[in-house]
Structure 1
Amino acid sequence: MTAESGTFCPRCGDPVERPTGADRRGTGESGTTRRERMLCTACYLEEFDLVDVPDRVQVDVCARCGAVHRGNRWVDVGAKDYTDVAVDAVTEALGVHVQAEDVAWEVTPEQVDQTNIRMHATFTGTVRGEEVTESVTVPVTIAKGICTRCGRISGDYYASVVQVRADGRDPTAEETERAVEIANEVVAEMEATGDRNAFITEVSETRGGLDMKLSTNKIGKKVARNLVTEFGGRVEDSETLVTEDEDGNEVYRVTYAVHLPRYHPGDVVDLDGDGGPVLVRSVKGNLKGVRVTTGEPYEASYEEGNAPDGRVVGTRTDAEETTVVAIEDENAVQIIDPETYESRTVARPAYFDADADVVPTLKSRAGLHILPGN
């Protein structure tokens, strides 16, 4: 570094040392004015502000869920207090001088009350080869409000409805409980991806089934599909125009009507025909099961449809353990009637265990039948 001939500080009159030739590289003078470049280092640092500090920083926080507003969106931070959030907000609000190099800072928060924090920060950096230190205090205000998501929830907002019904019957308590679980699982999956618009607005039992109001069409569609995947059945959807958005685009609310199958696994169904009752194994797609008279597998044909006409005469859980008296032949076996305790001859299905002393049986309007073991 050398003092250029005739170059003196306009403030104090001392010679100004300036880099020459290759030494000019890396000095970062592109962000300074001509007057600043003419000042000596001592006079330059007298006017130098290492950081640009705002008078106050405000952090907008949702009073209901604790989300923090950043930029143009709300973010779930999962904070018990907002000290770290305040530090981040101050970091974003501060501006460090472009001439400073190797800048580091330490911060000590002071909690004034529940909504006010003072951030005491000390900055160090290098300017013109000299170490510079500056201490500042930034007041931070925690402003409570309502985020978009909580505002929609409190306003009973919803974009889709999933209706859970069943063909020819009412859904069971187990089916409706599982439907709600599936809806909660879908919402949790969406929330895990950062979707703050995922929520269940309302679950209500109605005549003949269950209605669930959901926040988006995407969630409603996925819940309906997952219900059919688990229980079988089919989905019908319909749209209703509800409003227009601020850009004039039409906004529709979609209803997904989930029709659960007429039967469900474990039902014993007396179908029209001479084949005898069927223990239902699966209702996904077409009905599948086993004939309780012969033990032969059963599958509904295309002509019969997914769920043929018939009546439920009992369920697997209605079965009672009955004593085996004697095996008559390959088609018949004697067992004790669970109601009269008399010996009865019944059909011997293929799944009957010849070494069994007791077997599960179901007595119904269709007769007395041996059911498969567990």
Structure 2
Amino acid sequence: MSDARGAEFCPRCGDPVPERDEPLPGEPRDRDRVLCDACYFEDFDLVDAPERVEIQVCSGCGAVRRGNRWVDVGARDYTDVAVEEVSEALGVHLSAEDVRWGVEPEQVDETTIRMHCTFAGVVRGVPVEESAVVPVKISRGTCDRCGRIAGGSYAATVQVRGVDRVPDTAEEREAVEIAESLVAGREADGDRDAFVTEIVDQPEGTDIKLSTNKLGKTVATRITERLGGSYSEAPTLVTEDGDGNEVYRVTFAVRLPKFRPGDVVDPDDGDGPVLVRSVRGNLKGVRLRTGERYEASFEEGETPDAEPVGEAGDAAETTVVTVEDENAVQVLDPETFEAVTVPNPEFYDGDDTVRALRTDDGLFVLPTDDEE
């Protein structure tokens, strides 16, 4: 209301109201601008705080439920999560300027955190302060992902096997590490559908059960890239989803090569045994008799027609007696300690000691480095 001179008075108490700037075109008009400061601040709340905030945490993986989603927060102490949830739930009056605020948590017990919230700002040119206490209740539950894992849910099985052999412990361990590393990478990217359901040790190898067929294919591909070999796919219809779509489980049968890096094999071509260096794509190695490189043909691939005659791990360190010539070197036999003459391969660098391996073709010096 206003008098004949245009002066405005508070409609609630009748006191004069200071003249205020009119809002710009398009800006909302504050209906309380006609009130004096005393009446305005009687009903004014600087902050709108909830009476209570509840946080549901998965007891399995620690994820936090936000709306209809579970979110990985990577926290062991949920105080920071509580601070964030309360901060998002607080609302500050639009009329406030130069707002400053803080939240101080108080741990009441394992499931309750009391948040002491303080706010300060300027409204109508008047400094205003306000405080609120918001209790935060932390409850435990089970997220969809952990529920699926606990229920044994899986879509793919990667079977790690060997050709004419059982994979060794190191190969099985590396296959599992590949699967777990891929899952960890996808989890870090926010993919909660990626997980290892179960790892089963079988007499013939290891079975890795995974959450999705896509993940299973990726794991099988990565294992064969790293360890050699190949894999095949065998889908099995298990059910239909709610929309009538067929749901398949896929078995990825990984077959690791017959030979492994470190094996010593005889291709039976008259040139002597080969120390296997790699079985990726096709078998590659080094001739123990000459030190020359060996590579199986494309047709032979990673499993040429060869017989295993030893393993580099069985080699024993022995002493070099003398270098006879460019083709022969004399060493002590690790078993009889007699001086014997063995081939002098290109990789022998003149050391006083060497590793020697006995095969059906005799004693051979091995390279000092068996890496590819």
1:207–1:25 CA distance, 2 compared to 1 (3 A):
same
Aligned pairs for 1:80-91 within 5 A: 80-91=76-87
Q: Deviations over 1:287-340 (max 9, x none)?
A: 112233343322111343331122211011222345667777765666665555
Q: What amino acid is the match of 1:312? A: P
Moved more, 161-170 or 104-113: 104-113
Q: What amino acid is the match of 2:117? A: A
Contact 2:282 2:300 in 1 (8 A): no
Matched, 1:312 2:308: yes
Moved more, 24-33 or 157-166: 24-33
Matched, 1:97 2:93: yes
Moved more, 311-320 or 222-231: 222-231
Q: What amino acid is the match of 1:361? A: A
* Cα separation, 1, equivalents of 2:136 and 2:101: 18
Cα deviation for residue 265 of structure 1 reads 1.4
Moved more, 72-81 or 175-184: 72-81
Of the three residues 249, 255, 265, the one matched with 1:253 is 249
Runs of 5+ unmatched residues, structure 1: none
1:165–1:38 CA distance, 2 compared to 1 (3 A):
same
Moved more, 332-341 or 55-64: 332-341
Could you say what secondary structure the match of 1:24 adopts? coil
Cα deviation for residue 144 of structure 1 reads 1.5
Contact 1:31 1:98 in 2 (8 A): no
1:349–1:86 CA distance, 2 compared to 1 (3 A):
closer
- State the TM-score, normalized to the length of structure 1: 0.84
Contact 1:27 1:128 in 2 (8 A): no
Matched, 1:364 2:359: yes
Q: Deviations over 1:118-137 (max 9, x none)?
A: 33323333322223333333
* Cα separation, 1, equivalents of 2:199 and 2:114: 45
Of the three residues 83, 93, 109, the one matched with 1:113 is 109
Of the three residues 209, 216, 220, the one matched with 2:212 is 216
Q: What amino acid is the match of 1:15? A: P
* Cα separation, 2, equivalents of 1:334 and 1:133: 93
Contact 1:100 1:125 in 2 (8 A): yes
The two structures, once aligned, show a CA RMSD in angstroms of 3.2
Cα deviation for residue 171 of structure 1 reads 0.8
- State the TM-score, normalized to the length of structure 2: 0.84
Q: Match of 1:11?
A: 12
Could you say what secondary structure the match of 2:222 adopts? helix
Could you say what secondary structure the match of 1:18 adopts? coil
Q: Match of 2:56?
A: 60
Q: Match of 2:227?
A: 231
* Cα separation, 1, equivalents of 2:214 and 2:54: 35
Could you say what secondary structure the match of 1:204 adopts? strand
1:143–1:328 CA distance, 2 compared to 1 (3 A):
closer
Matched, 1:30 2:28: yes
Matched, 1:301 2:302: no
Q: Match of 1:276?
A: 272
Cα deviation for residue 286 of structure 1 reads 0.8
* Cα separation, 2, equivalents of 1:359 and 1:83: 61
Contact 1:205 1:211 in 2 (8 A): yes
Amino-acid identity (%): 59
* Cα separation, 2, equivalents of 1:87 and 1:357: 68
Moved more, 235-244 or 135-144: 235-244
* Cα separation, 2, equivalents of 1:336 and 1:107: 78
Aligned pairs for 1:133-172 within 5 A: 133-172=129-168
1:11–1:233 CA distance, 2 compared to 1 (3 A):
same
1:302–1:83 CA distance, 2 compared to 1 (3 A):
closer
Q: Deviations over 1:99-124 (max 9, x none)?
A: 22233223343433322233332333
Moved more, 166-175 or 199-208: 199-208
1:179–1:111 CA distance, 2 compared to 1 (3 A):
same
